[in-house]
């Protein structure tokens, strides 16, 4: 026969359990929109049954809450992180390719094809009246405007490269601070869990940090659990350890001593581990936004430059386009100069040694200042005694418009190829962003399907546990009535 | 699968966003009227658009500028050619008058002054310009066809290329000299001519003569190379002045020599030389210093070396500038369509030749011959009226007979030169007509090219529009549809996410 007050005790336990459940529900509801929060359930079980030496054997003694667990499937977390890496990569590429595309945007504004056409329209005018100083000036001005336009794009590309470079630092700093936070969380989690409790909220927070980190660099995580409840959590970037339980290794951005590509902005960063080893995401194939930044910043279309700081990067990034522009201007100016120097100017002197365009020691192409000062110095014919309107040389200049001197194609082919390359690469990045975003939503939904807090479910729980609470209260009051009857009214 | 409200909200948001993206795209297409805003939206459209724009730009350059400019140039040229033709027409008219024998001295005087003014006018037409650029001077548009001022210092060494056909056979009269009229001589019959001998001798022999481009040639070596590309026989012309002609006479021409009459710029071929030169080309090289206003500039016609004064050096010594010109075709070509050029100019050497002026000179010279003869005859007639001495009277009378013959010769020569002139100027006119019809053909071709360019421009514009412009009707319909979808998704979402189980408890 159990204790007389046994029933009252069971009622108390039920009341307590319902209370805990109601609190867990309240917590779930409160955290419904907390980022990375996984819903919690109170794990309750019936308490040890009592052996009462009766014919019926054992009797249930009530309920107890053994733990409060978070409902989460870590498999989806891994998948999510993998996708974050790809998405981070694609988003970064897309963002910067859009900016490069804007520099070359020809579909809404008049760009370099228009400038190029204008220049050769001026050549057409020059053919018709090569003796006229005004016509010569118009041609020279369009020449200058074309050269400036092309070089402006190059400068803008260089600014773009500087932006990319400073974002490399931002990314490196973000990795460091995330690593630090993760290491701190590892410690806190262990402190909590060594006492036997579950560090649900801390673990949720760590997963949020890992989600963030994985969009910058691809990571692999590893958690080793010991019997005493201690865990060791490791985060690897490529083959290097970033977080080793309570410790982390930081990355540093180090300025290059000399440029990898001729046109590069000065002071691009390379990345090193704090212990000295260099970290090269592209060589190590560590994807993520950092990878994409470096790819767009340094991509040279797989060209071996022979420079110590450069290696073939199979991507058409900023250096590639800067080189293309240089290449183009080089071919353009030398083709026109070669023709020009064979001619004779309006003074009847040979133009040999008077190029139309000159390249300054720091690589800037301009119209020859002497010719700009005195347009009569420009040669328009091979034999000036033929007369001022002899424009056989100008004809040859015009022929370069459609001559296949730019890598086996015409200038328009060459320029259009650039547009196509940028267009296709940007589009590719955009497609990737779209598909990885879709994938992100799918995985997130799967994750939410397990861990998400549902309003209706919690409302139901609220009703359910309130009812349980009410019933337990009833049990207690009924028990109280019973005792009252037994103690104060029975046999009195 | 367990669906939480969170999932539903996520999906809602993502779907609404997708609808917004589509809606935004259609809206932008309508607002900008362009299918794509950046190359990455459709690289193929983008690149095709660039190509079409380049093509359109080129067509516009051809259509609106090059063709227009070519047309203006050619129209100006056609007008100038019309003027030249009119002048030549007038010259032919005067030649017809000149053929008429019964002209008075005054009338011939009038013809001379007309011919002179025509010569001036026709060359003046050669200086026609279009926008300050002379149109008949080939590439030398900054230089007039003729000298604009007398220039006594400029000197040219000229090499003329000629063919055998350029040599004319003219009769040249060597008449009674002024001295013969004054001097007393015994008269007797000249056995060879049958005329009474008067101490004077007249001849009117056919000689082979070619007028060089210029008269007043320098008294320096003049070389004539016959068949320069073949056997190349070189003669050095014997230079004579017209003053010497009286003694030397055209009749005494050495058949193996070539003479140059400096003042008139006539090259006289001896018979043997003439026969040797038959149907061969030849070149003449000579130097001339000092040119008059209205004379054609040699550099537009011949290979020549020009030597001119060009300021002074630091010591004050005059410097000279030497320019070498090579005669060649100077066609000014405009590109008027893709890979199509058109010659817009007419070169002075094709219409305004030296021959025009020199043929006029020839006519004037022959009239002058006749005027001289007439004045000599008048002088003799005056003397006869005043003389009483019988011997003298008989001399003068026989002199009068000789002079009457001379006058007849001179008159014949004039008639000949004018009738030849009709032929020659008709030929010059013919030249102009040929050039003019060639020009007209080119203008016709130009106008056809222009029509084609207009058509091409339309086609390319249409292609361009098809390629890059929004089809507004389709876009508007799509916009409506998208908008419906969008509002529907909004209203559904609003209902779904508002309600919870609690609303029903």
Measured distance CA(A311)–CA(A305) in Å, rounded = 7
A239, burial (CB in 10 Å: exposed 0-12, middle 13-18, buried 19+): exposed
Which of B38, B40, B501 lies closest to A460 in CB terms?
Answer: B501
Query: Helix (H, G, I), strand (E, B), or coil: what is residue B285?
Result: strand
Residue B14 with chain A: CB contacts under 8 Å = 441
Nearest to B336 by CA among A389, A390, A127, A393: A127
Query: Is the CB of residue A131 less than 8 Å away from at least one CB of chain B?
Result: yes
Instruction: Test A32 with B3 for CB contact under 8 angstroms.
Output: no
What is the crossing angle of helices A289-298 and A133-194, to 10°? 160
Measured distance CA(A72)–CA(A204) in Å, rounded = 9
| Residues B157-210: tens digit of each pLDDT | 999 999 998 888 887 777 776 666 666 554 545 555 555 555 556 777 788 888
What is the enclosing helix (H) or strand (E) of A78?
helix A74-103
CA trace torsion B494, B495, B499, B503 (10° rounding): 130
Query: Is the CB of residue B43 less than 8 Å away from at least one CB of chain A?
Result: yes
What is the crossing angle of helices A112-128 and A133-194, to 10°? 170
Cβ-Cβ contacts under 8 Å for B67 (sequence gap 6 or more): B334, B336, B446, B449, B450, B453
Which of B10, B54, B468 lies closest to A441 in CB terms?
Answer: B10
Nearest to A434 by CA among B238, B52, B17: B17
Which of A97, A385, A424 lies closest to B43 in CB terms?
Answer: A424
Structure tokens at A71: 């409902």
Measured distance CA(A126)–CA(B475) in Å, rounded = 45
A277, burial (CB in 10 Å: exposed 0-12, middle 13-18, buried 19+): exposed
Which of A117, A125, A389 lies closest to B133 in CB terms?
Answer: A389
* Rg, C-alpha atoms of chain B: 41
Nearest to A345 by CA among A394, A384, A397, A390: A384
What is the crossing angle of helices B67-99 and B354-386, to 10°? 20
E strands within A22-170? 40-46, 50-54, 57-59, 63-70
Task: Please tell me which residue of chain B has the smallest CA distance to A105.
Answer: B38
Residue A463 with chain B: CB contacts under 8 Å = 505
Nearest to A70 by CA among A234, A202, A209: A202
Query: Is the CB of residue B32 less than 8 Å away from at least one CB of chain A?
Result: yes
d(CA A246, nearest CA chain B) in Å? 34
Cβ-Cβ contacts under 8 Å for A44 (sequence gap 6 or more): A17, A20, A21, A63, A64, A65, A66
Measured distance CA(B274)–CA(B262) in Å, rounded = 20
Query: Helix (H, G, I), strand (E, B), or coil: what is residue B239?
Result: strand
Provide the pLDDT for residue B194. 52
Provide the pLDDT for residue A318. 93
Whether the model clears a pTM of 0.90, i.e. scores above it, the answer is: no
Measured distance CA(A299)–CA(B367) in Å, rounded = 91
Interface of A with B in 445-464 (CB under 8 A): 445, 448-450, 452-457, 459-460, 463
Which of B6, B40, B142 lies closest to A427 in CB terms?
Answer: B40
User: Which of A94-108, A363-377, B84-98, B382-396 is predicted most confidently?
Assistant: A363-377
* Cβ atoms of residues B123 and B352 within 8 Å: yes
Provide the pLDDT for residue B262. 85
Which of A389, A415, A420 lies closest to B332 in CB terms?
Answer: A389
A216, burial (CB in 10 Å: exposed 0-12, middle 13-18, buried 19+): buried
d(CA A444, nearest CA chain B) in Å? 8
Instruction: Test B61 with A398 for CB contact under 8 angstroms.
Output: no
Report DSSP state, residue B456. H
b/e code B230-257 from CB counts within 10 Å (16+ = b): eeeeebebebbeeeebeebebeebeeee
Phi-psi region of A51 (alpha: psi -120 to 50; beta: other; left: phi over 0): beta
Interface of A with B in 375-404 (CB under 8 A): 381, 383, 385-391, 395, 398
* Cβ atoms of residues A175 and A217 within 8 Å: yes
Query: Is the CB of residue A73 less than 8 Å away from at least one CB of chain B?
Result: no
| Residues B203-235: tens digit of each pLDDT | 777 888 888 989 888 888 889 998 888 888 899
Measured distance CA(A313)–CA(B354) in Å, rounded = 73
Which residues are registered as beta bridge partners of A44?
A: A65
Instruction: Test A416 with B53 for CB contact under 8 angstroms.
Output: no
* Cβ atoms of residues A333 and A146 within 8 Å: no
Residue B330 with chain A: CB contacts under 8 Å = 386-387, 390
Q: Looking at residues B54-58, what average pLDDT do you find?
A: 91
Cβ-Cβ contacts under 8 Å for A479 (sequence gap 6 or more): A5, A7, A8, A11
| Residues B310-336: tens digit of each pLDDT | 878 788 888 888 989 988 888 998 989
Task: Please tell me which residue of chain A has the smallest CA distance to B7.
Answer: A445
Looking at the predicted structure, is the pLDDT value of residue B102 above 50? yes
Whose tokens are 């009038």? That residue is: B110
Task: Please tell me which residue of chain B has the smallest CA distance to A381.
Answer: B139
Query: Of how many residues is chain A composed?
Result: 492
* Rg, C-alpha atoms of chain A: 38
ipTM tops the 0.85 cut? no
Contacts A–B by Cβ distance under 8 A = 172
Looking at the predicted structure, is the pLDDT value of residue B108 above 50? yes
Interface of A with B in 87-106 (CB under 8 A): 97-98, 101-102, 104-106
Provide the pLDDT for residue B178. 67
Measured distance CA(A226)–CA(A221) in Å, rounded = 17
Q: How do strand A57-59 and strand A50-54 relate by DSSP bridges?
A: antiparallel
Give pLDDT tens digits along chain A (492 positions): 567 778 888 999 999 999 999 999 999 999 998 999 999 999 999 999 888 888 888 888 899 999 999 999 999 999 999 999 999 999 999 999 999 998 887 666 677 888 888 999 999 999 988 888 999 999 999 999 999 999 999 999 999 999 999 999 999 999 999 999 999 999 999 999 998 888 999 999 999 999 999 999 999 999 999 988 899 999 999 889 999 999 999 999 999 888 877 788 888 999 999 999 999 999 999 999 999 999 999 998 888 777 777 788 889 999 999 999 999 999 999 999 999 999 999 888 899 989 999 999 888 999 999 999 999 999 999 988 888 888 889 999 988 888 888 877 888 888 888 888 999 999 999 999 999 999 999 999 999 999 999 988 999 999 999 999 999 999 999 988 988 888 888 876
Cβ-Cβ contacts under 8 Å for A411 (sequence gap 6 or more): A116, A328, A332, A400, A401, A402, A405
Q: CA A101, A102, A104, A105 torsion: positive or negative?
A: positive
Q: How do strand B238-240 and strand B258-261 relate by DSSP bridges?
A: parallel
Query: Is the CB of residue B325 less than 8 Å away from at least one CB of chain A?
Result: yes
Query: Of how many residues is chain B composed?
Result: 505
Residue A397 with chain B: CB contacts under 8 Å = none
Q: What's the first-to-final CA gap in chain A, in angstroms? A: 24
For an interface test with B, the pick among A112, A114, A346, A387 (most B C-beta atoms closer than 10 Å) comes out as: A387
Instruction: Test A113 with B53 for CB contact under 8 angstroms.
Output: yes
Which of A98, A108, A113 lies closest to B50 in CB terms?
Answer: A113
Task: Please tell me which residue of chain A has the smallest CA distance to B321.
Answer: A348
d(CA A207, nearest CA chain B) in Å? 18
Task: Please tell me which residue of chain A has the smallest CA distance to B306.
Answer: A385
Compute φ and ψ for B3, nearest 5 degrees: -105, 120
Which of A391, A444, A449 lies closest to B2 in CB terms?
Answer: A449
For an interface test with B, the pick among A423, A449, A453 (most B C-beta atoms closer than 10 Å) comes out as: A423
d(CA B210, nearest CA chain A) in Å? 28
Structure tokens at B9: 């909200």
Looking at the predicted structure, is the pLDDT value of residue B245 above 60? no
d(CA A398, nearest CA chain B) in Å? 10
What is the crossing angle of helices A200-216 and A74-103, to 10°? 30
Which of B34, B47, B299 lies closest to A419 in CB terms?
Answer: B47
Query: Is the CB of residue A138 less than 8 Å away from at least one CB of chain B?
Result: no
pLDDT band at B247 (very low <50, low <70, confident <90, very high): very low
Provide the pLDDT for residue B249. 57
Structure tokens at B81: 């050619």
Nearest to B226 by CA among B160, B271, B284: B284
Q: What value does the mean pLDDT of chain B take?
A: 86
Residue B6 with chain A: CB contacts under 8 Å = 32, 448, 452-454
Q: Cα–Cα distances in Å, from A80 out to A4, A240, B13, B88?
A: 56, 21, 19, 97
* Cβ atoms of residues A386 and B138 within 8 Å: yes
Residue B468 with chain A: CB contacts under 8 Å = 107
Measured distance CA(A358)–CA(A334) in Å, rounded = 9
């Amino acid at each position: 026969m159990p204790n007389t007050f046994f029933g009252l005790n069971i009622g108390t336990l039920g009341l307590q359990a319902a209370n805990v459940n109601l609190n867990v529900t309240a917590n779930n509801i409160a955290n419904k929109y907390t980022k990375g929060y996984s819903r919690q359930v109170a794990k309750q079980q019936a308490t040890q049954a009592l052996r009462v030496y009766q014919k019926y054997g054992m009797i249930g003694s009530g309920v107890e809450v053994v733990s409060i667990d978070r409902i989460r499937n870590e498999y989806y977390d891994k998948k999510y992180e993998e996708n974050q890496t790809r998405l981070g990569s694609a988003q970064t590429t897309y963002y910067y390719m859009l900016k490069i595309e804007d520099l070359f945007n020809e579909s809404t504004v008049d760009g370099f094809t228009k400038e190029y056409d204008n220049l050769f329209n001026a050549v057409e005018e020059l053919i018709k009246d090569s003796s006229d100083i005004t016509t010569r000036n118009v041609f020279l001005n369009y020449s200058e405007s074309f050269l400036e336009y092309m070089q402006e794009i190059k400068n803008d590309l260089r600014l773009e490269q500087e932006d990319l470079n400073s974002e490399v630092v931002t990314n490196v700093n973000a990795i460091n601070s995330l690593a630090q936070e993760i290491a701190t969380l590892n410690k806190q989690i262990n402190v909590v869990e060594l006492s036997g409790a579950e560090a649900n909220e801390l673990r949720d927070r760590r997963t949020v940090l890992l989600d963030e980190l994985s969009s910058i660099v691809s990571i692999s995580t590893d958690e080793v659990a010991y019997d005493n409840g201690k865990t060791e959590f490791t985060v690897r970037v490529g083959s290097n350890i970033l977080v080793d339980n309570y410790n982390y290794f930081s990355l540093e951005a180090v300025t290059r001593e000399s440029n990898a590509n001729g046109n590069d902005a000065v002071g691009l960063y390379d990345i090193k581990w704090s212990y000295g080893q260099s970290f090269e995401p592209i060589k190590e194939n560590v994807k993520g936004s950092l990878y994409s930044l470096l790819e767009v910043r340094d991509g040279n279309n797989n060209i071996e430059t022979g420079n110590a700081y450069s290696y073939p990067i199979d991507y058409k990034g900023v250096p590639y386009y800067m080189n293309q522009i240089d290449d183009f201007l080089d071919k353009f100016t030398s083709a026109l100069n070669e023709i020009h120097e064979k001619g004779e100017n309006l003074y009847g002197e040979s133009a040999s040694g008077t190029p139309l365009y000159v390249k300054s020691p720091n690589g800037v192409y301009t119209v020859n200042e002497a010719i700009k000062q005195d347009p009569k110095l420009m040669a328009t014919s091979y034999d000036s005694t033929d007369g001022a309107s002899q424009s056989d040389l100008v004809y040859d200049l015009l022929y370069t418009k459609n001559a296949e001197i730019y890598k086996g194609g015409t200038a328009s082919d060459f320029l259009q190829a650039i547009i196509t390359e940028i267009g296709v690469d940007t589009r590719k990045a955009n497609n990737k962003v779209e598909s990885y975003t879709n994938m992100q939503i799918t995985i997130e939904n799967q994750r939410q399907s397990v861990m998400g807090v549902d309003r209706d479910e919690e409302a139901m729980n609220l009703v359910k546990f309130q009812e349980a609470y009410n019933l337990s209260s009833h049990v207690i009051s009924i028990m109280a009535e019973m005792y009252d009857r037994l103690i104060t009214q029975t046999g009195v | 699968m367990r669906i939480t409200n969170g999932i539903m909200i996520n999906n809602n948001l993502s779907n609404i966003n997708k609808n917004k993206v589509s809606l935004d795209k259609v809206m932008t297409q309508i607002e900008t009227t362009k299918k794509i805003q950046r190359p990455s939206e459709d690289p193929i459209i983008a690149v095709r658009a660039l190509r079409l724009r380049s093509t359109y730009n080129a067509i516009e350059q051809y259509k609106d500028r090059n063709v227009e400019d070519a047309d203006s140039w050619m129209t100006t040229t056609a007008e100038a050619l019309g003027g030249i033709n009119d002048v030549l027409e007038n010259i032919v008219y005067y030649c017809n008058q000149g053929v008429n024998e019964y002209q008075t001295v005054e009338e011939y005087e009038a013809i001379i002054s007309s011919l002179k003014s025509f010569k001036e006018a026709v060359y003046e037409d050669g200086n026609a310009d279009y926008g300050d650029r002379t149109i008949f001077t080939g590439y030398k548009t900054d230089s007039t066809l003729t000298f604009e001022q007398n220039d006594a210092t400029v000197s040219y060494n000229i090499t003329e290329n000629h063919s055998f056909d350029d040599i004319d056979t003219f009769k040249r009269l060597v008449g009674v000299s002024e001295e013969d009229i004054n001097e007393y001589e015994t008269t007797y019959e000249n056995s060879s001519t049958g005329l009474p001998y008067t101490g004077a001798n007249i001849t009117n022999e056919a000689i082979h003569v070619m007028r060089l481009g210029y008269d007043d040639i320098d008294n320096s070596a003049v070389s004539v190379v016959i068949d320069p590309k073949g056997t190349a026989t070189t003669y050095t012309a014997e230079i004579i002045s017209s003053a010497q002609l009286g003694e030397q006479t055209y009749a005494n021409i050495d058949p193996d020599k070539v003479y140059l009459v400096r003042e008139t710029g006539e090259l006289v071929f001896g018979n043997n030389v003439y026969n040797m030169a038959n149907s061969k080309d030849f070149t003449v090289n000579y130097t001339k210093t000092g040119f008059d206003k209205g004379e054609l500039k040699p550099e537009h016609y011949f290979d020549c070396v020009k030597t001119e004064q060009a300021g002074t050096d630091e010591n004050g010594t005059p410097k000279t500038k030497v320019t070498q010109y090579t005669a060649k075709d100077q066609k000014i070509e405009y590109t008027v369509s893709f890979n199509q050029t058109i010659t817009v100019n007419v070169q002075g050497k094709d219409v305004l030749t030296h021959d025009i002026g020199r043929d006029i000179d020839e006519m004037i010279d022959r009239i002058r011959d006749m005027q001289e003869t007439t004045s000599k005859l008048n002088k003799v007639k005056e003397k006869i009226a005043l003389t009483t001495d019988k011997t003298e009277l008989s001399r003068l009378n026989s002199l009068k007979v000789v002079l009457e013959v001379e006058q007849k010769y001179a008159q014949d020569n004039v008639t000949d030169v004018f009738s030849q002139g009709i032929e020659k100027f008709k030929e010059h006119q013919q030249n102009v007509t040929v050039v003019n019809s060639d020009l007209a053909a080119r203008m016709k071709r130009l106008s056809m090219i222009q029509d084609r360019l207009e058509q091409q421009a339309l086609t390319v514009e249409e292609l361009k529009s098809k390629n890059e412009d929004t089809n507004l009707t389709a876009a508007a319909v799509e916009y409506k549809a998208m908008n419906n979808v969008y509002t529907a998704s909004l209203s559904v979402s609003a209902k779904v996410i508002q309600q919870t189980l609690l609303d029903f408890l």
